Amino acid sequence: MMRMNFRSGMLVMGLAAMSAMASASNWTAKITVDNAYNLYTGNNTGINLVGGDGWWPSVESYNFTSFNASDYLYVSTASDLSVAQGFLGEFVNTTHNFTLLTGSSSWQVFDAGAYLMPLFGMSGAWPTGVMPTNAQTLAAIQYADANNLWKATSKFQNWDNRVAGNVTVWGHLSPINPNAEWIWHRKAGGPPNPFQPGFNHDEFLVFRVQAVPEPATMAVLGIGLAAMIRRRRAK
């Protein structure tokens, strides 16, 4: 009977922990995009604008809340297709004490500029330097979800936020974690370095990352709880 009580209690604790991770949480963000961006929280039923900027040399800081277990962090972008382009950021969940840096495999991107005709009835390329509206960004998210068009982001060797020996055109941006890496989308047939100036990688782009731990992470927590139960029962 004691073993059953312990097991039940551990399962309840585990479920409670997972539920807490999926509930509303507080975030801080430090972000820059060359050339312009908007930061959102939400999902394909609706997005909430956190903030944005069109002056790439600056790094912006935000405090915000993610409301639902299904929420993502989204970053929509615009480029001048001229000097360079890239996205660098640090996102910290202060409620549950975990950090998401650009460069991790959790980030995905949708090259919305390659689908302008089905999205908006537009031919040609997305206008240079024009930020998509909130409604256009949501439409892009919904289209990417419906057609399974989210892709892995692109990086390039040593293009990161290191302090010493920084090889990027931006240098080290001290407000952002030095372990963050610049990310973008590389269009097939484009230059190997997606940050190389003057090439249109089907921009505008929408980046996303899940705002709560992925199911695999939740499963790891469950495995850990099961192992604790087995050790307890073996005693």
- Answer yes or no: is pLDDT of 155 > 60: yes
Whether pLDDT at 223 is above 60 = no
Q: Give the number of C-alpha atoms closer than 13 A to the C-alpha of residue 231, restricted to the C-beta side.
A: 7
Residue 99 belongs to a domain: yes
Where is pLDDT greater, at 162 or 20?
Answer: 162
Q: Assess if residue 3 is contained within a domain.
A: no
7 inside domain: no
Please count the structural domains in the chain.
Answer: 1
Token pair listed for 95: 């409620």
Is residue 1 included in any domain, yes or no? no
Q: Is the pLDDT of residue 19 over 80?
A: no
Whether 145 is covered by a domain: the verdict is: yes
Q: Are 87 and 207 spatial neighbours (Cβ–Cβ below 8 Å)?
A: yes
Candidates 14, 5, 2, 12; CA nearest to 220 is 14
Asked if residue 216 has pLDDT above 80, the reply is no
The range of the structural domain enclosing residue 225 comes to 22-234
